[in-house]
Each structure stands twice: as C-alpha cells, then as structure tokens.
Amino acid sequence: MPAIGFLHTGKPQSFVYDIADILKFDTVVPEAFRVAAAVQGGKPLDGRTVSEPVAEVRRRCRDAFRRTDVLARLIPLIEEVLSAGGLPLPEAPPEAMPVAIPDPQALGDAGHRG
C-alpha cells in the first residue's frame, strides 16, 4: 500500500508526521522552548533544576498532551484534513472489516458523530 502524505512523503509514517506537525505548535514546541530556556539560562523550571533536558521535554509533552486532550482531537482533525479538498470520502472496500462495536443510536450532542 502506498504511503499517504501531504507534506512528508516516501515513508509509511508520512501521514502521521503531517498530523503531528499540525499539533506540535500547541504542545511540543512551547514545552521544548521552556526547557531549553531554563537550561540555557541556568534557571529552575517550576522550582527545580533541569538535569536531563530530553527527559524533561518528554514529561512536559506528556502533560501537555493530557491537558490539551490530544487524543480526543485526533480523529476530528484527521477527518478535517482528509475532507479539506472537498472530495467525498471513499466507500470502504468490500474486504474491509466491519465496525467492531456498532453504535446504531446517536448520542445527540455536537461532540459525538452520528
């Protein structure tokens, strides 16, 4: 199967990298700059000295992902990206697996599809 990517190409993860680039400016970039500034200036970050910058960025990104609810935003973001060209979504191929847990009744609020 060919890799799908809009900005990144040539690797199976190209589309994943494209989606990550959309989210990184809300999460990863600010945290990385905060840690880099603390290390560069020799100042504590949140009351403690940063001894392992890479590990600190990872912890802070984890917290940012939770705080900004990245997982809940992913599917709507992917649907938005794929529908940006105005083309209809393709039908599932005949060999595709059916939905594992069908939800025939919609929940009725704007935060849920259906």
Question: Domains in the chain: how many in total?
Answer: 1
How many Cβ atoms from other residues are within 10 Å of residue 60's Cβ? 20
Any domain includes 114: no
* Residues composing the chain: 114
| Residue 38 pLDDT exceeds 90 | yes
60 φ, ψ (degrees, to nearest 5): -70, -35
Any domain includes 107: no
| C-alpha to C-alpha distance for 22 and 8, rounded to whole angstroms | 12
Tokens describing residue 93: 């191929």
Q: Among 3, 19, 23, which Cα is nearest to 11's?
A: 3
Structural domain including 62 reads: 14-83
Using one digit for the tens of pLDDT, what is the confidence trace for 77-86? 988 888 888 8
pTM score over 0.85: no
Any domain includes 95: no
Strand partners, 45: 48
